[in-house]
Amino acid sequence: MDQDGATPIATGGGGSVGVQIQHSRRVLPDFLQSVNLKYVKLGYHYLISNLFTLCFIPLIVVTLVEVSQMDLNDLRHLWLHLQYNLFSIVICSAFLVFGMTVYTVTCPRPVYLVDYFCYRPPDHFKAPYDSFMKHSRLTGDFDDSSLEFQRKILTRSGLGEETYVPAAMHEIPPRPTMVAAREEAEQVMFGALDKLFCNTNVNPKDIGILVVNCSLFNPTPSLSAMIVNKYKFRGNIKSFNLGGMGCSAGVIAVDLVKDLLQVHRNTYAVVVSTENITQNWYFGNKKSMLIPNCLFRVGCSALLLSNKSAERKRAKYRLIHVVRTHRGADDKAFSCVYQEQDDAGKTGVSLSKDLMAIAGGALKTNITTLGPLVLPISEQLLFFATLLVKKLFNANMKPYIPDFKLAFDHICIHAGGRAVVDELEKNLQLLPLHVEASRMTLHRFGNTSSSSIWYELAYTEAKRRIRKGNRVWQIAFGSGFKCNSAVWVALRNVKPSPNGPWEDCIDMYPVKVVS
């Protein structure tokens, strides 16, 4: 027998036919049952989603039949009745106009993502496995146990051979100075912004809002001030610099811009999301602090957003929802990603063993809030029904996991590491296609922190998969501990931006990631 307990099929003779028939008899009913259940669920989803329409159509038909049976005298009486009640009609119309005016003034202004750009470092910054390990040995800071630990993490991380580390880390000895860190920040931020302004033909002086997020590198003057100085932004620009907020800070920056665009009319906003590696490389031997060295790589994204109605014509997406979850009140969650010094006084970021469990709890809270906003009513009814049965009858049943595949066409999971993507794929019952962008981004660019979700969206665009009306779910995790989601809807069939990060390599993907 095979390992799975099935009888192997013989290579010749009549016995093989008999075994094949028995095998087909066993498998065929299970297959038909799964197919039937699939179509039953699809039928249920369609029925509930279109219930209002299906009920409204008969009402329209009955009304049309009644109107068609009215003669000329009936219509004349109706007109006279309306004339005698002219005052009531005017009052109702006034209330209607007033209500529409109040709604127009108070309803949130749409936020458009005009375009974005993800920075791609030059090829001489690449860090293949062998070069990475050779460089680690030559620095002389790591013992044999730490070197072997880094090698194992690299091979299991899901990273490929073409990720990038900054120039200072290619030198022997490494040069983690303030000057080198500023050079890295300028290179990635200005590189992304130059391409963004070139692709959109927007004058930097037209930018009214600037938000920059970088968790670990916060110099004085700030990174946002560096950008203002470089591009000579106007003096009254609303400038913000977010620090220490981890890999989910990109969504936080978008949420901040969304709120600011409700106040400041007819303007542009720029969001720059990056992380700085030069001064945050760990040179000690504590295992939990060596993991970021193996995962984090150079990257940066620059977004151009606007609330101008004229920008809708060329914008790629419109922001629908932002849902933020913060678990910082819990001590374990607060300290699971923690910057500290080891016993030798060397600074690094320590990752707790409880990280995945804490991320799972934050995800559960986040999707519980997000679900009612995005899930079709059919899924919400199923979730509520199972919850009700469990509460009323104390039934020993698993909670119903909503099918988020019905709510979103594309999902961008923060490429924090292979384990993160695996866990979400399993828990949300996603298909390999839904996590392809995350896995390939991790393979090609590594964990680029808060910008990773934009490299993933750029991958999906480069594959020409985004159609008008498609919904995109971006979900990111960060220190604190935070889980944040952003939902976008495509305003047209989206093409990749010129000179994008995947332009010359997209045909090679997806690749098989070795376990």
Structure tokens at 145: 């146990």
For the stretch 244-258, pLDDT in tens is 999 999 999 999 999
Q: Is residue 343's pLDDT more than 70?
A: yes
DSSP string, 428-492: TT--HHHHHHHHHHHHHH-B-GGGHHHHHHHHHHHTT---TT-EEEEEEEETTTEEEEEEEEESS
For the stretch 62-81, pLDDT in tens is 766 666 666 666 666 766 66
For the stretch 260-276, pLDDT in tens is 999 999 999 999 999 99
366, 414, 434, 483: the catalytic one is: 414
Active site residue 326: yes
Q: Is residue 182's pLDDT more than 90?
A: yes
280, 410, 434, 470: the catalytic one is: 410
Higher pLDDT, 308 or 60: 308
Q: Is residue 17's pLDDT more than 60?
A: no
For the stretch 454-477, pLDDT in tens is 999 999 999 999 999 999 999 999
H-helix or E-strand spanning residue 27: helix 14-49
118, 247, 300, 336: the catalytic one is: 247
Q: Is the separation of the CB atoms in 254 and 303 below 8 Å?
A: yes
**365 burial type by CB count under 10 A (0-12 exposed, 13-18 middle, 19+ buried):** middle
Active site residue 414: yes
Q: Is residue 356's pLDDT more than 70?
A: yes
Side by side, the strands of the sheet bearing 112-118 are 238-242, 207-213, 268-274, 300-306, 112-118, 317-326, 482-490, 471-478, 410-413
Structure tokens at 218: 């916060």
- Please name which of 157, 150, 108 lies closest in space to residue 131, comparing C-alpha atoms: 150
Distance CA 454, CA 437 (A): 10
Higher pLDDT, 513 or 228: 228
For the stretch 280-332, pLDDT in tens is 999 999 999 999 999 999 999 999 999 999 999 999 999 999 999 999 999 99
Active site residue 247: yes
Q: Is the separation of the CB atoms in 309 and 268 below 8 Å?
A: no
Report pTM.
0.82
C-alpha distance from residue 128 to each of 135, 257, 501 (Å): 11, 37, 18
213, 280, 285, 326: the catalytic one is: 326
- Please name which of 179, 233, 240 lies closest in space to residue 214, comparing C-alpha atoms: 240
280, 285, 447, 470: the catalytic one is: 447
Q: Is residue 175's pLDDT more than 80?
A: yes
495: left (phi over 0), alpha (psi -120 to 50) or beta: beta
CA 115-255-114 angle, to 5 degrees, is 15
Distance CA 504, CA 100 (A): 50
